[in-house]
């Protein structure tokens, strides 16, 4: 979607009212490089979809001030071990922004009331350890490393119940690649991580990998049986694919494109498109059976998110190679050979085919002939 097409989605007051259409276009067509920076601010809810141009101007100032105050707060705690003082007003700051800055300072005092140097120090150590190991193909410059450090520690300070977890650095690199404004990158990253926070817990990711296992079992029994025979049917190798959105398997540009398609949540079993497809198939099946079939109840597993279908698509794309693997080591070697060699369009199309195949299977399984 080019910038002109994106702007046509807004009404005369600057509101993006048709969120469903927007997400559909992101999923089906992707975003042009010229559009991505502006569109991501809506995709990751930096801006509310129904906000006007004027409301977004105010919101941007507020969020900028909050991020500035947040960063100043934890840096003061770390450097001095004392309570942070009000951040000074920049020499070139518009005097009219003084109220917004003061409100941000009051907000951050409340938000970080329980944060101390002792609590934030372990997070800082973990972030410093990982920042230099961030997987970012264009190269880690000192500027980028500083930005990664500031945003990750700021997130850990603001969301101590989630904190910093290894892998967040790779995810953030993607946001900083698209969004040059650090405050915008922080809030988009913040909103995204909170939406998937459960996946950073051991139980959450174990459950998601178990869903991939179940999906492979239902869609490709032969492949699943072979993986089980090689004692690798737990599919723990999918952990990185799911957590990072295939970040290390794709080139940086394809990684960004894949990420926005996944996070559009357009094609989901519990979403509008999934239900429309199943309803169409129900009608077709009922018609074919001459009205002599009735539903026995839904069998669709709605927590099969689209990224799970991408995992299965990736496995089925190399299934013949995997079936020839004689042991676990051969399988891992085959999987590792995929790095930066995956055709994104091919994988997306295969995942969509698998999605519709699963919809069809779930509908057929839910009918009982009378």
How confident is the model over 233-243, as pLDDT tens digits?
A: 899 999 999 99
Here the tokens at position 168 are 């967040």
Here the tokens at position 299 are 């069998």
CA angle 256, 259, 263 (to 5 degrees): 140
- At residue 359 the predicted structure's pLDDT band, cuts being 50, 70 and 90, is confident
pLDDT score for 80: 59
DSSP state at residue 64: H
Q: How many CA atoms lie within 13 A of 128 on its CB side?
A: 6
pLDDT score for 129: 96
pLDDT score for 89: 53
Q: Which residue has the higher pLDDT, 256 or 88?
A: 256
Which residue from 168, 348, 355 is spatially nearest to 258, judged by alpha carbons? 348
Here the tokens at position 80 are 């001095």
C-alpha–C-alpha distance, residues 231 and 86, integer Å: 58
Q: Which residue has the higher pLDDT, 302 or 35?
A: 35
SS3 state at 254: helix
pLDDT tops 80 at residue 83? no
pLDDT score for 81: 46
Radius of gyration of the chain (CA): 23
Give, to the nearest 10 degrees, the angle between helix 344-365 and helix 202-219: 80
- At residue 84 the predicted structure's pLDDT band, cuts being 50, 70 and 90, is very low
Q: What is the mean pLDDT of residues 266-292?
A: 61
Q: Which residue has the higher pLDDT, 157 or 80?
A: 157
SS3 state at 16: coil
Percent of the chain with pLDDT over 70: 84
Q: What is the mean pLDDT of residues 309-331?
A: 95
pLDDT score for 180: 95
Question: What does pTM read for this prediction?
Answer: 0.88
pLDDT score for 289: 54
Q: Which residue has the higher pLDDT, 319 or 78?
A: 319
pLDDT score for 201: 86
The helix or strand, by DSSP H or E, that contains position 41, with its residue range, turns out to be helix 33-43
Q: Which residue is it, tokens 């399988």? A: 331
- In the chain, the N- to C-terminal Cα span, in Å, equals 48
- At residue 306 the predicted structure's pLDDT band, cuts being 50, 70 and 90, is very high
DSSP state at residue 96: G
- At residue 285 the predicted structure's pLDDT band, cuts being 50, 70 and 90, is low
pLDDT score for 268: 87
pLDDT score for 82: 41
Which residue from 359, 260, 343 is spatially nearest to 307, judged by alpha carbons? 260
């Amino acid at each position: 979607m080019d910038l002109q097409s994106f702007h046509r989605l807004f009404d005369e007051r600057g509101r993006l009212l048709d969120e469903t259409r927007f997400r559909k276009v992101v999923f089906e067509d992707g975003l042009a490089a010229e559009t991505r920076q502006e569109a991501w601010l809506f995709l990751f809810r930096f801006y509310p979809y129904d906000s006007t141009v004027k409301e977004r101007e105010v919101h941007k100032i507020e969020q900028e001030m909050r991020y500035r105050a947040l960063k100043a707060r934890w840096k003061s705690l770390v450097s001095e071990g004392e309570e942070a003082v009000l951040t000074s007003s920049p020499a070139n700051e518009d005097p009219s922004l003084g109220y917004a800055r003061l409100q941000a300072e009051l907000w951050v005092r409340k938000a970080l009331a329980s944060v101390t140097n002792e609590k934030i120090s372990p997070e800082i150590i973990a972030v410093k350890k990982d920042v230099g190991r961030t997987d970012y193909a264009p190269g880690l410059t000192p500027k980028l490393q500083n930005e990664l450090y500031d945003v990750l520690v700021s997130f850990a300070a603001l969301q101590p119940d989630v904190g910093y977890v290894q892998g967040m650095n790779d995810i953030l690199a993607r946001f900083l690649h698209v969004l040059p404004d650090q405050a915008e990158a922080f809030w988009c990253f913040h909103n995204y991580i909170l939406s998937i926070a459960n996946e950073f817990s051991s139980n959450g990711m174990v459950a998601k990998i178990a869903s991939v296992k179940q999906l492979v079992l239902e869609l490709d029994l032969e492949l699943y049986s072979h993986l089980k025979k090689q004692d690798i049917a737990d599919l723990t190798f999918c952990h990185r694919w799911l957590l990072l959105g295939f970040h290390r398997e794709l080139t940086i540009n394809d990684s960004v494109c894949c990420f926005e398609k996944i996070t559009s949540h357009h094609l989901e079993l519990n979403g509008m498109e999934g239900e429309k497809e199943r309803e169409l198939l129900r009608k077709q099946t009922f018609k074919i059976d001459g009205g002599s079939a009735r539903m026995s109840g839904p069998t669709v597993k709605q927590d099969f998110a689209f990224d799970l279908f991408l995992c299965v698509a990736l496995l089925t794309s190399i299934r013949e190679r995997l079936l020839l693997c004689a042991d676990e080591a051969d399988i891992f070697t085959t999987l590792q050979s995929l790095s930066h060699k995956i055709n994104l369009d091919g994988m997306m199309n295969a995942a969509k085919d698998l999605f519709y195949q699963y919809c069809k299977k779930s509908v057929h399984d839910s009918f009982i002939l009378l």
